[in-house]
Amino acid sequence: MMNKPLIRVLIVDDSVIFRNFLRGCLSNISNVEVVGAARDGVDALEKIKALRPDVVTLDMEMPRMNGMEVLAKLENRDNKFEIIVVTGSNSNDTERTLKALEAGAFDFVMKPTSSDKDPKVTLIKVLTEKIALAHRKLKGAARAARTPQRAPTRIEAQRQKIAQAKAGNSGGAIVKRPRTLKGRPDIVAIGSSTGGPKALHALFSELSANIPVPLVLTQHMPKLFLVSLAKRIDDVSSLACVVAGDGMELKPGVIHVAPGERHMEIVRSGGKLVVALTNGPKVHHCKPSVDPMFFSLAKLAPAVKVLSVVLTGMGADGAAGSLEIGNKGGHVIVQDEKSSVVWGMPGATAKMGAAHEILPLNLIDEAIMRFFVK
């Protein structure tokens, strides 16, 4: 059995107590080596250059240079390392964390609170998963950079055209299923996880206001972060964005975000589409989860036509729900691997054969709008 690759981690935090606590957590992860610790942003930049870590855990609130200023300095780091934000859970922390994710941080972990039964065990579990994903993304980018890019030969180009024709596709998007959605969708449903805040920022800042149907969104995040996320989307989008409440009627041209700690399902009530929040067990280890939302919409077919979108995220949440939406005559778009931070959710959807289109993030807004342009 091959040994896991060693992952070099630099800790950045102004609290010596938390630096030591974090070092203790990381020392329990077998393939992680803590190569150093920095007390503020200025110290971090110097140690990043000297120690060349694979992953940096970054505090947001520090003297001399805070986390956002560090990210600004590292904007052109050329995939040499990934950054995981370590954050608290108050409203200021959530706002800063979302800004950090939009600025290029890979993901975030929550600092333990007094309510955590075993904060060390909890943090070790989360760090193990997210550091491994960050390292995998880093190595994938390095392999891509080493692979020489060349134009396909004439025979290769012909084979590509044949493969596209067999797939029913004459353009750049890979069609996994033939289109079955007839006419205009009645609702647009979006699911996302790791890398989602940045992807959603990009998508909704480009999406036209001329969408005459409701939009619903499930993003894997804690409750307070989802409140901040909805506000940030509302600020950058020409569409309105709100946190959904139980019994809320869906409005055309409005993005309804699933709140934390509840699954969001969509039901019909009095001929209208309405939010139903449920308090069942986690699905795919998440609450809110994408699949409950997608399955609830599939149940409404054929009276309600659904356009679903699966964006970047780890795991397989949304794949089974997407398959059911497609089986009931809906249309499924997934983000492609190259533009995804983690090609878990969209990749699982594609591999299941549920996707009608696999597109780079910057083309998904156009693909959505095609359904509403006469």
Domain boundaries, the chain: 7-145, 157-369
Query: CATH for 7-145?
Result: 3.40.50.2300
Question: For position 59, what pLDDT does the model report?
Answer: 95
Question: For position 15, what pLDDT does the model report?
Answer: 96
Question: For position 138, what pLDDT does the model report?
Answer: 84
Q: Minimum mean pLDDT among 152-166, 226-240, 293-307, 324-338: which range?
A: 152-166
Query: How close are the terminal C-alpha atoms of the chain, in Å?
Result: 57
Question: For position 5, what pLDDT does the model report?
Answer: 83
pLDDT bucket at 141, cuts 50 / 70 / 90: low
Question: For position 157, what pLDDT does the model report?
Answer: 45
Per residue in 16-31, pLDDT (tens digit) is: 999 999 999 999 999 9
Per residue in 304-361, pLDDT (tens digit) is: 999 999 999 999 999 999 999 999 999 999 999 999 999 999 999 999 999 999 999 9
Q: Is 105's pLDDT higher than 50?
A: yes
Work out the angle at residue 106's Cα, subtended by the Cα atoms of residues 341 and 104, and round it to the nearest 5 degrees. 95
Query: CATH for 157-369?
Result: 3.40.50.180
Q: Is 193's pLDDT higher than 90?
A: yes
Section 49-75 average pLDDT: 94
Q: Is 169's pLDDT higher than 60?
A: no
Q: Is 131's pLDDT higher than 60?
A: yes
Q: Please give the mean pLDDT across all residues of the chain.
A: 89
Section 223-236 average pLDDT: 95
Alpha-carbon gap, residue 322 to 349, rounded angstroms? 7
Catalytically annotated residue among 220, 256, 263, 331: 220
Alpha-carbon gap, residue 63 to 52, rounded angstroms? 23
Is 336 one of the catalytic residues?
A: no
Burial profile 118-151: b = 16 or more Cβ within 10 angstroms, e = fewer: ebeebbbebbbebbbbbbebbeeeeeeeeeeeee
Q: Is 2's pLDDT higher than 90?
A: no
Catalytically annotated residue among 317, 336, 339, 356: 317
Domains 7-145 and 157-369 alike in fold? yes
pLDDT bucket at 91, cuts 50 / 70 / 90: confident
Alpha-carbon gap, residue 351 to 176, rounded angstroms? 9
Check if the beta carbon of residue 290 is closer than 8 Å to that of residue 218: yes
Tokens read off for 193: 């996880």
Question: For position 176, what pLDDT does the model report?
Answer: 66
Coil, helix or strand at residue 94: helix
Catalytically annotated residue among 135, 192, 193, 331: 193
Q: Is 114's pLDDT higher than 90?
A: no
Section 252-263 average pLDDT: 96
Q: Is 170's pLDDT higher than 80?
A: no
Question: For position 1, what pLDDT does the model report?
Answer: 47
Question: For position 172, what pLDDT does the model report?
Answer: 42
Tokens read off for 194: 């790791």
Strand partners, 269: 272
Q: Minimum mean pLDDT among 165-169, 216-220, 341-345: which range?
A: 165-169
